[in-house]
Amino acid sequence: MNSTSSLLVPLPEINRHQHSLFVLNATAVGKWLDTLPRANLGETTRRLYQALGELSHVRCKGKDRFDILEKFRPHVHYITDGLAQHYLNKAIVLPEKAEKIVLLADTLNTVLAQGYCQAFIAMELESRLLKPKETMAACLHRAMTEHASVLLRTYQLYRSPGSRFWLNLHNIFHAAQLHKLERAKISDKSRGSGTLEQAYLRPLMLACSRCHQMPQRYMEQVFVGLNYWTAHLELRNKGLESCVFLLDPEEDRPPLYRELANRAPAPGWLGIDTRALQGGSAKLLHLIPPSSQGKSIKMPESLLAQLSIAWSAATVRASERIPCNETALITVGMNPTHYYAANQMPFEQFEIDGDDAHLRPDPYSGKTQEGDPWSQISSHDTREVEGETLPTWGVSRHGSAEIENIDYRLPQDGPAAGKAEAQYSYLRARLLDSSSNGYRIEWPDSPTLRIRTGEVIGIKTNDYDSWRVAIVRWLRSDDSHQMGVEVVASAATPYSARPVQAGLPVEEFQRALLIPSDPQNNDARIMLTSTASFSAGQTVELVRPGHVMRIKLGDCLDSSTAFKLFSYRDQGRTPPVSEGKLTASHSDDEGEADFHKIWDIL
């Protein structure tokens, strides 16, 4: 770092005069890049990493370095985009190999950003009178864009950026302000064109988007959308009382809500006026050019509404968190949660016709906790399995050992029935704090566990006899793996569910949980597992052993990529078939009632 430069960012030491792989000009570098085996991602990555690392220590003119880096940049983006398949849409706890790939991708973006900073400093010091302002502005724009790519990857893994990340970003923009380049518009086909102020606001607003509450697959879409939304924001150093977010450029931290600032803004502070982005999902969608909405930006309205709220004002917690240190069992996903809520009854016992269901005993009628293996988590008989303490399911309630079932099926015959059910498991996790509507939970490192925001989970604690049903609202994966969950039901009754058309159930059985009604809402609520099969106003048949009923789904109260939560109206219990006559349930739909008459005649 040269102290005479306006760009106060730590950079690699320049101590070499030539590069071992190519001559320091854009033409020679272009020819070298053409020899890369792009089909071999690993070998191409290795050569790019070596070449960029060496280039950061080679003395070079500022303009030449910029031209060389412009040749490298598309290849680096091609590599980092290809590496994403190894860490995105995976378990949050990544294996060691994937962690190294993440570090490699971050390093490539960071070294590229440092190279552009070196080019800026060289041009700033080489030209005293006539400075190449346009190229210098492009250097700072590229540097901030590469930093933003690192931040996006960090948030996609529900982590926090490393030390000096924000301070380096603030210093890069400060250099642009000193040279009055913040309004210069730079073309960037790879990551989006815009001014330097937009390039600076983009990572700032991404940090203000509550990414820990956001599904991983939508974060890149938000990042793309910010390229358009930041054009309507105002970054200023006066009138901060009307700004939603404030930041101190001399601190290594992102913006914070004005209400949460622990001290009064001092001279030099900046504020972000987000009024142009407030007004709901329709307002945000309107600010994106129509040509871009179908190509790269596909976000649900609920997410856009969440962003509008996040950029409007700080939210106040509805209840206080109470620290605790208790052990709990958790299931992740609708399938295992349904399985344990059903006292480990396989789902195939729910996949029955209504007539058969009436003939079976109702296991949930007058249900008691006698013999409930979950009633005492800490004191129940246990055994060690792969380092995990599990209840002893091998002993029946009567104390006799169960007979081992031997599977005589050949491998080519396929898996045995019910074998998938036996694979459902739970985790032993730690409750860090609790509130009136949820918990903050820490779970152990488990590369096989895939937790996402909006996921359905089950929670079993000592103070409750049954499994509670909760929704994952946020995730963090820094020093420890934590999630915030909202409990939506202290108990749930499992069912199977099928849509009803023309008086007859159709499609495959889906898992469903019937949960008690909200005290502020007289309608009971039902959580359905499939987000594609069910919609408001639809008639649904719910089946469990001993009970069948048909309901009409009301409003969708909550939803995610993992579930839909509806209110419903009971249309009556379906009576069993007698004397060969099919009796149809009542329906409010006149056309459906006509079909019922036809079924009776037939």
Q: Kindly report, residue by residue over 469-482, the tens digit of the pLDDT.
A: 999 999 999 888 99
- Residues in contact with 602: Cβ distance below 8 Å, sequence separation at least 6, in sequence order: none
DSSP state, residue 69: H
Of 207, 229, 255, the position where a domain reaches its end is 207
The alpha carbon of 331 is separated from its chain's Cα centroid by a whole number of angstroms, namely 18
In the numeric block, the tokens 């509670």 are attached to 468
Of 207, 226, 261, the position where a domain reaches its end is 207
In a domain, 474, yes or no: no
Using CA atoms, how far residue 475 sits from 79, 215, 221, 304, 432, in Å, is 27, 10, 19, 19, 14
Of 186, 207, 228, the position where a domain reaches its end is 207
In a domain, 252, yes or no: no
Which residues are bridge partners to 186 per DSSP? 194
- In angstroms, the CA 270 to CA 255 distance is 9
In a domain, 37, yes or no: yes
Q: Would you say 249 and 270 are in contact if contact means Cβ atoms under 8 Å apart?
A: yes
In a domain, 145, yes or no: yes
In a domain, 528, yes or no: yes
- In angstroms, the CA 64 to CA 22 distance is 13
In a domain, 168, yes or no: yes
**What residue numbers bound the domain in which 100 lies?**
1-207
- Amino acid symbol at 53: G
In a domain, 30, yes or no: yes
Q: What is the pLDDT of residue 600?
A: 42
Q: What is the pLDDT of residue 584?
A: 40
Residues of the chain with pLDDT under 70: 1-3, 291-296, 316-318, 364-422, 518-523, 572-602
For the beta carbon of residue 20, count every other beta carbon within 10 angstroms.
9
- In angstroms, the CA 121 to CA 52 distance is 18
For the beta carbon of residue 193, count every other beta carbon within 10 angstroms.
14
In the numeric block, the tokens 């590599």 are attached to 79
Which of 204, 239, 159, 451 shows the shortest CA–CA distance to 330? 451
Which of 179, 177, 307 shows the shortest CA–CA distance to 249? 177
In a domain, 127, yes or no: yes
- Write a three-state SS string for 30-64: HHHHHCCCCCCHHHHHHHHHHHHHHHCCECCCHHH
Q: What is the pLDDT of residue 515?
A: 87
- In angstroms, the CA 172 to CA 160 distance is 20
The H-or-E segment that residue 327 falls in is strand 322-332
- Amino acid symbol at 562: A
Our count of domains for the chain comes to 2
Q: What is the pLDDT of residue 416?
A: 46
In the numeric block, the tokens 């060691």 are attached to 96
Q: What is the pLDDT of residue 420?
A: 52
Q: What is the pLDDT of residue 296?
A: 59
Q: Is 524 helix (H, G, I), strand (E, B) or coil?
A: coil
Q: Would you say 264 and 204 are in contact if contact means Cβ atoms under 8 Å apart?
A: no
pTM value?
Answer: 0.80
Q: What is the pLDDT of residue 582?
A: 37
- Amino acid symbol at 553: L
